[in-house]
Each structure stands twice: as structure tokens, then as C-alpha cells.
Amino acid sequence: MTLEKARALVAAGVFCLAAALGGGARADQVYQGCAQPGPAGKVWYLDPVNGRTPAAGGNGSQTAPWNSLTGVLSFKFPPGYTRPLLSSVPYFHVVDGKRVYVADQLGSPPVQPGDTIMLMSGNYGDIVIGDYLQQVVNPSFVTVEAAPGQTPVFLTLYIRSTTKWVFKGIKVQSLFGTNNSKLPLVTVTDQGAALPSSNIILENMQVSSADDTDGWTQPEWLARARVVGISAKGTDHGANTTCVSVTNSHISKVIFGAEVMANNMLFSGNEIDRFGDDGIDYVASNILIARNYIHDDQVLGNGAHMDGMQGYPGASSNVVIDSNRVIRQADPKLPFPTYLQGIDAFDGDWTNVTVTNNVVVTSACWGIFLSSVHGGRIVNNTVVADGLLPQPGNCKPLVVVGGKTHQGSPSNDVIIRNNIANGLNIDNTKPNMTMDHNICLGINGRCQIVTVVNGKLDWGTIKPGMHGDHNFIDGRGAGGMFVNFDPAKFVFDLRLRPDASAIGAGNAAEAPPVDITGAPRAGRVDVGAYQHAPLK
């Protein structure tokens, strides 16, 4: 399959681009239709420790680097810089007590759009792109990246009302309130339709409040940790910040991991851990959330209800959530473990939603829970209880599509198929709601499949066997299904055993062509996120 064909299928909501491309997807991958960086121009060097200002002889070469990234990129250049060194950045001066902006012509300052800025190790402070009611427009990508073997550090990165930037290999770290800042560690936003942002690529970023939070108490966490790691949030429900890509990055030791709230956005291959509320909050149209690993949330006494991924209020369409892992606790030494809901949308209204190949291991009622879905496919996911934190009512993780959210209209045209879960629930009173070929994984030999029967809601816990439309209750539980599922040791190998009832039990219609690892589902379709393959 060609890259273009795979992207077209994603845009149509058929399946995930990351899955279609498998594990070899390019690190600089962007959402379908968004701009990719072209050929690189000149390379410039910055060194905050050993570099010099232009006035002191710095020329941006490897032997005479500049010393300030703000001096290159910002409207507000520091001493020793007479104007921004990037030609696309307007600069201001004061005339008769008023701020006057001057738009540079390309070719005047030395750094041009298309160039690369290499950063040596050191602290670059708070980095800001754009200014109040002003925009930076790059005709081609400006790349800011860590030089090989170097660790440049930003306190925060604030990107607004601008186009075509790549930030790669940067460490962004500071505590809440550093320099009086309460902003997210990384922000991508706009100033309305007249001053939008687009084509922002964040790759291999290391984003955290601190390297080490061991010993922090819960009040210290709330006082010190940044509220959000990476926030991409467009005004007008995501319409004015578009084509944001966050890939292969690590977000850690924050309250909320990431906000995926920009249209045409890719959030892929990232790890989010040691957080104190939600891993990902999402609401926008044309978004792909793929191959992320979310684990080890903590209760901090802030009254939050924890979600691996939570949909927010608003009208969203063409949302693909594919091949992610949400594990409530993977670290036995996690200081404040708590429950974690998996992938959910209790708010908003959702059109054309695909949730495939995801793994959720948790102690909460809702493994996958979506409502107000219009055209949805919840297919080939694995959702199981770790059994380590008992929930009220002895609740276990379910796959559920309900009627409607707080704001949305009732669901219609939704398929729940080929999933493994500890419970299944669908509001089948609504039009074209289908639940088939799932495996309800028994705990103590029993499992719950909730539907409406003869006009009444049936909450009965059902014994092993086939029920409804090829929905099978497997009384053997996790031990008979997975290669190595040992929550007491925090071992969660959810590949299928050779004798698992999931092998060959799936329905090929609407199934993703590959599994969570990128292995093809050729010839037969197994139930769950993993297609069985002989162990090597």
C-alpha cells in the first residue's frame, strides 16, 4: 500500500495511518495533507554558554556561535542584537512613545526560512514565537534542533500565530511558577482566524516539570508540577491552529499530559507517564492519536477523575485512535497509584470515530466508553482489569457505546466488534447499533453483556458460552487468553496464547488490516488488539 493511499484511508476514517505504515513510519510524519519540511538550507549554531552576540563577533558558525535563541527568533531581541536574525520575524522599535513593527524583507538578516538552527547544551530560557496581534509567516520550515550529543533546555516554549516550524530533540523543563509562568511547558495556539497557526512539528521532545520527583508529597506535586505538558489548542474548536504534529516525545511528571485540540493534528509515538489527571484530552476534527504509551497516573488530592484519554465538549469529526496502550500502573514503586479510566468521551458530539487496536489495562469501570457517536467503529481492542484496585460495585473495565453525552445527540451507526473486554454494553435502541464477535473475558467464570431485550435494559451477569450475535463469554479469563498476564508482578503481555479462544474468532468486516504491532491480519481475523503469531 502506498503512503498516499494509506493517508487517504485515514482521512476517510477507514483506519489509522500509523497502523497502515507499521512500525517503520517516518519520525517527521504529519497529518494527511499537511506540509512536510523540504530540502534544508544553511545550518547555524547557538551556544548559550560559549557563544557570543553579533556585536561581540558571533556569526552563527560552528566556531563562532551566537549565544541567544531569543535574539534569533523573537520580536524582543536581547542586548547585543539589533534586530531578530531570522528574516521572517518582524521587529519593533519605539517611535514617539509608540511601538512600531517593521516587516523585514527576505534576504536582509542572515537566517532564512528553510534554514536549520543547531543548539548546543545549555539553558535557553523561555522561548516565544509570535507576539501580541503579530504573526510570523515562514514560507518554508525553520528547524530548531539539538546538535548531535547536545541537550539544550527551554524553560517553556510558546508558539502562537505562526507557520512552519520544526522543534526537534529539545528538553523543555521548569516548575510551575518559574519566572511567574503558569503556562503549559509547550504551547501551540493562535490569536483567532486573522492570526492563525499552522504546520508546527514537535519531534523527540523531552517535556517534564523536573527530572526527579521522588519524595514529593501530594501537596508538593500540586504546587510544583506544571499543569499541562504539551498543549495544542486552536480557537473556534481547533479551526485556527492546524497541522500540528507531536511525535516520538516523552511527557512526564505533569498534571495533564497533552491537549490534542487542533484540527488536522497527529499525536503519535509518544510516552506519557507520572501524571496527575488525564493523559490526553482531545477535541478537534481530523485528528490521529496513534501508538502512544500512557501509564502510571497518580492521585494528588485535586478531586480529579483520571482518564487515559478523555474527549472534551465540542463537535468533532474524523477522529482516529489507534494502537495505543493505556496501562494504569506499570511501575511497582509508583507513589500514589489510583484508578484510571481508559479511552472515553462523556462530553461532546462525535462524527466518524475509529477506535482500533488499543490496549487498556486498568482498575476502572470504563475501559472504552463513548457516547453521542455518529458513525463509529470500536474494533479489535483489548480491555482488561488488573484487579489491583477494587472499584465500587465490583466494577470491571467495559467497552461501551452509550446513547448521548451531556451536550450531544443520541448515538447511531456504531459497530462494536472483535474486542476482548471484561464487559460489553451498547445502547442498541438507537439506529444501526451493532455488537458482534466480541469476547467477554470472564472473572470467576462470569461476564456481563448489557443490551436492551424486549424493551428493557438487561444488566444480567451471564455464564460462559455464545450470546447474541457471536459474542462469546470465555470463562477461563485472562489466564487462558494471554501469553503472560500477571498483575501482581505488573506483567502485561497481552499477545494471544496458542489455544486462545480469540484466534480466528473475529469478523473481517471493518477490521483493521494490521494489529497493534503492525502485523497483518491476513487470512483470518483474531479478536483483540494482537493477531496471534507463533512465539520465537
**pLDDT over 50 at 5, yes or no:** no
Is residue 36 in a domain?
Answer: no
Q: What is the pLDDT of residue 449?
A: 85
Mean pLDDT of 402-412: 91
Is residue 205 in a domain?
Answer: no
Instruction: Check if the beta carbon of residue 208 is closer than 8 Å to that of residue 173.
Output: yes
Residues 164-179 pLDDT 10s: 999 999 999 999 999 9
Give the least confident one: 194-198, 208-212, 450-454: 450-454
Mean pLDDT of 352-374: 96
Could you tell me which of 282, 44, 10 has the C-alpha nearest to residue 145? 44
* SS3 state of residue 279: strand
Q: What is the pLDDT of residue 18?
A: 38
Is residue 473 in a domain?
Answer: yes
Q: What is the pLDDT of residue 4?
A: 39
Alpha-carbon distance of 467 to 445, in angstroms, equals: 15
**pLDDT over 50 at 19, yes or no:** no
Positive or negative CA dihedral for 447, 450, 451, 452?
positive
Residue 87 is which amino acid?
S
Higher per-residue pLDDT: 64 or 15: 64
C-beta atoms surrounding 444 within 10 Å: 8
Quote the longest CA-to-CA distance of the chain.
84
**pLDDT over 70 at 414, yes or no:** yes
Mean pLDDT of 283-312: 95
Residues 481-500 pLDDT 10s: 999 999 999 999 999 999 99
Q: What is the pLDDT of residue 107?
A: 67
Q: Which residue reads 480469540 in cell numbers?
A: 502
Mean pLDDT of 333-352: 96
Beta-strand pair 456-458/447-453: antiparallel
Alpha-carbon distance of 415 to 378, in angstroms, equals: 6
Alpha-helical segments (H) within 100-259: 218-224, 235-238
pLDDT band at 7 (very low <50, low <70, confident <90, very high): very low
**pLDDT over 50 at 27, yes or no:** no
The grid cell for 369 is 466508553
Is residue 170 in a domain?
Answer: no
Is residue 482 in a domain?
Answer: yes
Is residue 418 in a domain?
Answer: yes
Is residue 318 in a domain?
Answer: no
Instruction: Tell me the residue range of the domain where 388 lies.
Output: 331-536
28-42, 72-86, 282-296, 437-451 — most confident range: 282-296
Kindly report the length of the chain: 536
Instruction: Check if the beta carbon of residue 506 is closer than 8 Å to that of residue 437.
Output: yes
Q: What is the pLDDT of residue 110?
A: 95
Could you tell me which of 263, 267, 234, 235 has the C-alpha nearest to residue 251? 267
Alpha-carbon distance of 477 to 445, in angstroms, equals: 7
Q: What is the pLDDT of residue 104?
A: 65
Q: What is the pLDDT of residue 393?
A: 67
Q: How far apart are the first and last CA of the chain?
A: 27
Alpha-carbon distance of 219 to 210, in angstroms, equals: 16
Instruction: Check if the beta carbon of residue 345 is closer than 8 Å to that of residue 405.
Output: yes
Mean pLDDT of 146-163: 98
**pLDDT over 60 at 514, yes or no:** yes
**pLDDT over 80 at 25, yes or no:** no
Q: What is the pLDDT of residue 312?
A: 96
The region, left, alpha or beta by phi > 0 then psi within -120 to 50, assigned to residue 10 is alpha
pLDDT band at 300 (very low <50, low <70, confident <90, very high): very high
% of the chain surpassing 90 pLDDT? 75
Q: What is the pLDDT of residue 532?
A: 94
**pLDDT over 90 at 131, yes or no:** no
Give the least confident one: 101-110, 423-432, 506-515: 101-110
Q: What is the pLDDT of residue 232?
A: 98
**pLDDT over 50 at 20, yes or no:** no
Q: Which residues, including other chains, have CB under 8 Å from residue 64's CB and lie 6 or more apart?
A: 52, 57, 58
Q: What is the pLDDT of residue 349?
A: 96
Angle 514-519-521 (CA atoms, 0-180°, nearest 5)? 50
Q: What is the pLDDT of residue 424?
A: 92
Upper half-sphere CA count for residue 511 (Cβ side, 13 Å):
29
Mean pLDDT of 227-244: 97
**pLDDT over 90 at 394, yes or no:** no
* SS3 state of residue 14: coil
Q: What is the pLDDT of residue 482?
A: 97
**pLDDT over 80 at 385, yes or no:** yes
**pLDDT over 80 at 15, yes or no:** no
Output the DSSP codes for 286-345.
SEEEES-EEEEEB--SS----EEEEE-SSEEEEEEEES-EEES---TT-SSB---EEEEE
Mean pLDDT of 442-462: 74
Q: How many structural domains is the chain composed of? A: 1
Q: What is the pLDDT of residue 442?
A: 84
% of the chain surpassing 70 pLDDT? 91
Is residue 392 in a domain?
Answer: yes
104-108, 239-243, 297-301, 394-398 — most confident range: 239-243
Q: Which residues, including other chains, have CB under 8 Å from residue 206's CB and lie 6 or more apart?
A: 170, 171, 172, 173, 249, 250
**pLDDT over 90 at 14, yes or no:** no
Q: Which residues, including other chains, have CB under 8 Å from residue 350's CB and lie 6 or more apart?
A: 311, 316, 317, 319, 370, 372, 373, 374, 376, 408
